[in-house]
Amino acid sequence: MKYFQVCLLSIFLVIGVSGCRGKVNIEDVTLSMILGIDVNDQNKVEVYMASPVFSGQTKVKTEHFNVQTLSIKESRNYFDSKASGVTAGGKIQAILIGSKVLEHKNWFSILDMFFRDPKFRLNADIIFVDGPLSSVYNLKAQDKPELPIYIPQLLQTADFRNVAFRTTARKIHQMYYEKGITPFAPELAVEDNHLVVHGTTLLTNNNLYNRTLSLKETQMLKILKDHIEGQLVVALDLKKFKSDDDDVFTDEEVSFYIKDVKRKIEKKYSNGRYSFIVNLTLPIMITESPIGLTNHSETVLKNEIEKKLQKQLNNLVHSFQKDKVDPVGFGILAHSFQYSDWKKNENHWFDTYQKSNLKVKVKIIVVDKGISM
């Protein structure tokens, strides 16, 4: 028995010692946290990287690099010729895509390595940048954390307030190969030496830039997709309740929390034409009201909110049709509805989509109207 215990202890010691032999000190590794891809003024592809510096002897806590190359994998060779440690890409938090990249229809090919390398983090956020990436990587914001912390926190906050979508590398890959939806991702810009979330960048079915949704339009898209995270506050101006001629402080604003989205979609295909009716039931909590709320006036206000919100949602959906972009994913609904009909239309879906009958109906349920004074 004693002999067996000694052998077992020896085995554990050998395993423990062998595990320590391959250790790598964090000071000897350059962790690629924020990766960027852009096209410069000479029409050359540049790859950017931001990495934290793990040293108490330096004042600068993040080092930035950029190199010219068409290969993400090859860029690590160039980064290692400049960095103090071996570059590791398994901890990437976000991939920034410059606006000039979206002018080239084959830009997605440079991301191929991310989906083939099993060490790559497919939960990394894809972010489109309005302008050159140099403006982001050269940012010197005195009252903000370093880029590897700043960008993920900014995006997380925007997603919580539902003014941005968090689009991962895995998600953009799915949208790229899915014929029934057009890709989208959050848009970032530099304003007054600060990073600002502008809204959502929409791409065409050829993966070129189409348009940028504002923060409010992004909220509307989140409602349409039933994709609410955190808290969603909507503010509407209702002209019906305007009471005076003050052009600054008007008595027409109503705001409310949307607690949940209950979505039911009626689908129909007839004579080569699709019809989608999106029925949305929205329980809300009123936080600001242009009128005092009684049982009667609450009903009046609820009806006005329904009409206004329904109009905005329908306008947004019809603008998508006009631009031949489908971020809602009506094409996915089409092939899940009747696959045989979808097969007839999948190769020219966006022409079919543009001719489809799309309608949004909104039903508001007031669950809380606040305290009436």
Which of 37-46, 269-278, 363-372 is predicted with the least confidence, judged by mean pLDDT?
363-372
Whole-number average pLDDT of the chain: 85
- Band of residue 219 on the pLDDT scale cut at 50, 70, 90: very high
Share of the chain above pLDDT 70, in %: 83
pLDDT tier at 321, thresholds 50, 70, 90 = very high
Burial class from Cβ neighbours inside 10 Å (0-12, 13-18, 19+) for residue 175 reads: buried
Does residue 170 have a pLDDT over 90? yes
Stated pTM of the model: 0.86
Residue located via tokens 């539902």? 162
In angstroms, the CA 74 to CA 292 distance is 65
- In this prediction, residues 292-298 reach a mean pLDDT of 78
* Among candidate residues 159, 130, 170, the one with its CA nearest the CA of residue 231: 159
Q: How many CB atoms are located within 10 Å of the residue 288 CB?
A: 12
- Residue owning tokens 């306008």: 315
pLDDT at site 184:
96
Reply yes or no on whether the pLDDT at 87 is more than 90: no
**Measured distance CA(68)–CA(134) in Å, rounded:** 13
Contact 135, 193 (CB under 8 A): no
Q: Which pLDDT band, with edges at 50, 70 and 90, does 305 fall under?
A: very high
pLDDT greater than 60 at residue 125: yes
Percentage of the chain exceeding pLDDT 90: 51
Q: What is the mean pLDDT of residues 138-164?
A: 88
